[in-house]
Amino acid sequence: MNNSIYVAKLGKAVGLQGHLRLFMDTDFPNQFKTGAVFTTNKSIELVVKDYNIDRELIRFENYLDMDSAKKLTNSELFTTIEATKELCNLGENEFFWFDLVACEVYENGLLLGKVKDLHRFPLNDYLEVTTSQELVAKDLPKTFLIPHIFDTFILSVDINTKRIEVKDSFDILENS
């Protein structure tokens, strides 16, 4: 499994001191603290010098002027699974998407399938599930989406056993 997680994209340089616009794709802005290390899609390792959360501006060590910072424009920032788990605190019934992928999805003891991906939509996140072969053999769709809403569809998640218990999701599968 690839250990890199995409967390942000760098925009244009702002001002003369090497600040860059930061377009985050994460729920955890606190991971951009001073000293945090990220890798770009060009394999450049960057260490955060400072981050202004209100203005969405970031600056990196060794890129402290506009000309050097411009070289980083449009770079994508990646972190590791270990750093994410260390720096990002989860609340109750919150999980990292990479922990949900590959979990088996069960409803009333029936294996519906395995989580393939997570999709983010404005109102809710959805689990994309690859339907089990037994159910595909019964002419059910090969994939379907389950809203990631606790108590409504998701009953429990056990990351250690890679098992998610759901309800009312077989109906979604049948009607997909």
Give the neighbor-by-neighbor strand order of the sheet with 143-147. Answer: 143-147, 125-131, 110-120, 104-107, 163-166, 154-158
Largest CA distance in the chain: 63
6-40 residue pLDDT tens: 999 999 999 999 999 999 988 888 899 999 999 99
111-148 residue pLDDT tens: 999 999 999 888 899 999 999 999 999 999 999 999 99
- Token pair recorded at residue 111: 């294996």
162-172 residue pLDDT tens: 999 999 999 99
Nearest to 78 by CA among 17, 7, 10: 7
User: Would the pLDDT of 2 be above 70?
Assistant: no
